[in-house]
Amino acid sequence: MELQRTLSVGVRDGLHARPAAQLVRLAKSFTSAVVLERGGATADAKSPLKLMLLGVKEADEVTLRTTGDDAAAALEQIAAFLGGAEAGIAPAPAAAPVIAASVAPTLAETGRRGVPASDGVAVGPVHVHAHPGLPEPLGRIAPEAAPAEVERFHTALADTLASVSARAGTLPGADLQPIVEALADVAGDPEWARLVEERIAGGADAVAAVLLAGTDVAGRFEAMDDAYARARAEDIRSVSRAVVGTLLGWTATSLAEVPAGAIVVADEVTALDLSGAPLERIAGFLCRCGAATSHAAIVARSHGIPAVFGWDEPLERLATAKVVALDGTTGEVHLDPDAATIADFQARIRARQASVAALAPYRTISPRTRDGRAVTVAANIGSLRDIDPALEAGAEGVGLFRTELVFMETAELPSEDQQTAIYREVIERFRPRPVTIRTLDIGGDKPIPAIAFAPEDNPFLGWRGVRMCLDRPDVFLPQIRALLRAAAAGPLRVMVPMVSDIDEVHAVKALIDTCRADLAARGVAHGRFDLGIMVETPAAALLAPALAREVAFFSIGTNDLTQYVMAADRTNRQVARLCRPDHPAVIEAVRLVCVAAAVAGIPVAVCGEAAARAEMVPILVGLGVDELSMSAPAILRVKKQVTEIWAVPPEARP
């Protein structure tokens, strides 16, 4: 069977390393061949390198072709991913302009500015980060030596992949680990090995072959018309250098010993370089190469490290400087600045620190509105990597733990024991603060490799959330048992997604009772949890009075509720103007839910994107929402905002 579909790509920033690697894993879960076409060029969707070289950007029109026995399922799930699937792709932090180093302004044009890559101001001593020089001239071999060189390359490649994968497994934070994992996928791509083997067959030794293949592929990325795609040349150079280092027996150049408060000065800093770096000790980055769209820039922004790239001076000159002052917002750089300049930059730093410090007290504050109403500000998380940032931001618990991401990280369904361990760790880390875990919510825009979905004309209105779970007890019952077992570790709330009918709640309750009885009969330790539902369908909003008598809490998913109330696909750019959580119809739906909850005496949370929007916070609190849950970076700001608003409308105030 051969099928095809043309669609607009909704993946944030297009198919760069991380989403390309995720798409490859999804494509490989099917036996069918999967091909993507853009602008007349095609790529095998099971090769991350070929996908990245296709240069697919957000909003590009592409044609997806699937051929084989499971072509229909492959087409549906991969099309959903391309349309904007939430497969654990953390969006790159914004706030820096998309300017490639190749078009960076030179010193002669601007005086003393580079490419602003990460906001902030820094002054500090120079720490030069330089990789060993690559061998010249490149080595040649006789034809009969080619098989041995191919074997030497594959041994070095395997050793490099093992090293990179091991490094990725120990990285802190949710931003750097998936980047390094994606680079490992690129290095392990058979297409990459084929390109190297071709050079060896042409007479190059393994080192030369890796360098030539890397230069060729990096050049293809640099020739692309998109700044984000051009920045992927950094990834290829990084992978090539790592394999060459293994072949030559080099000790990898590391940032592990960077002094506290230093400015890292380099030709280029890559994700692999950063994977060994104590980021908390780095005051700033100044690089000759790189772009605001590079992985180094993304990581710098997410960790609040000022960075300027595209600085047009030789590294030898930069290495002679003792001190650097830089402004990652404007691109301004001073090498060995005078006393007046240092004083100016230190004043800027103090001003920024004061702004951040103004929010610091809110880490330990349980916010109340000006008229005394308590509003919980919690965190949305998707994996164990998100726990530390949430706790550091002062989250008052977890308002949404997306368990589907646990299922997406493996080709097989996670076992009951594996799930129990993950849920228990989240509960223990947040104890005594409550944790709210959402049961599996896949289908629609969230495909996973381990569960095959039949083709659906409109997956958003199809077999997803609780509908799928009730039809698949082999998937749902182990999760319920895992949640009951984890509940023994601390306060837990469990919520069911995509509820549209009271019978669905009754069915879930019956399964919970069955699982509790099973665990008790086997003598397995377990606890109890409060059961709630996600309110994200118009049916649930309209049935809120009846549903409120059946559950312990409501949590409003404003993303889906908005698209269903407005009958506007949130992945369709042509109707994006309708997907507004501040639309009167959506606000009325939220009001109905809050009124029903108040009558029944149960709390209401909002865990959709609207919870972090400054203009929505007073609206939601005014409607009666008790908890706002969001990503960690927004928590302190929202806590502060809650303390500045009135929950009671002016006409009702004393």
Residues serving a catalytic function are 295, 607
Hey, which residues does 5 pair with through a beta bridge? 64
Contacts of 191 (CB under 8 A, 6+ apart): 44, 47, 49, 50
Element of type H or E holding 535: strand 530-535
Chain centroid to Cα 436, Å, comes to 20
Hey, CA dihedral for 423, 424, 430, 435, is it positive or negative? positive
Residue 17 structure tokens = 């390393």
Q: 504-510 contacts: CB < 8 A, separation 24 or more?
A: 504/466, 504/467, 504/470, 505/533, 505/547, 505/550, 505/551, 506/550, 507/470, 508/466, 508/470, 509/550
Residue 599 structure tokens = 């009558």
Q: How far apart are CA 424 and CA 525, in angstroms?
A: 13
Mapping DSSP onto H, E and C, the string for 621-642 reads HHHCCCEEEECHHHHHHHHHHH
Query: Are 553 and 493 spatial neighbours (Cβ–Cβ below 8 Å)?
Result: yes
Q: How far apart are CA 529 and CA 491, in angstroms?
A: 7
DSSP 573: G
Please provide the size of the chain in residues. 654
Query: Are 432 and 491 spatial neighbours (Cβ–Cβ below 8 Å)?
Result: yes
The full DSSP string for 142-190 is -GGGHHHHHHHHHHHHHHHHHHHHHHHTT--STTHHHHHHHHHHHHT-H
Query: Are 385 and 177 spatial neighbours (Cβ–Cβ below 8 Å)?
Result: yes
449 SS3 class? coil
DSSP 460: G
Q: How far apart are CA 342 and CA 529, in angstroms?
A: 57
Please identify which residue in the block is written with the tokens 């929950």: 647
Please identify which residue in the block is written with the tokens 């309110």: 535
What are the distances in angstroms from CA 398 to CA 401, 428, 630? Answer: 7, 12, 9
Q: How far apart are CA 644 and CA 622, in angstroms?
A: 13
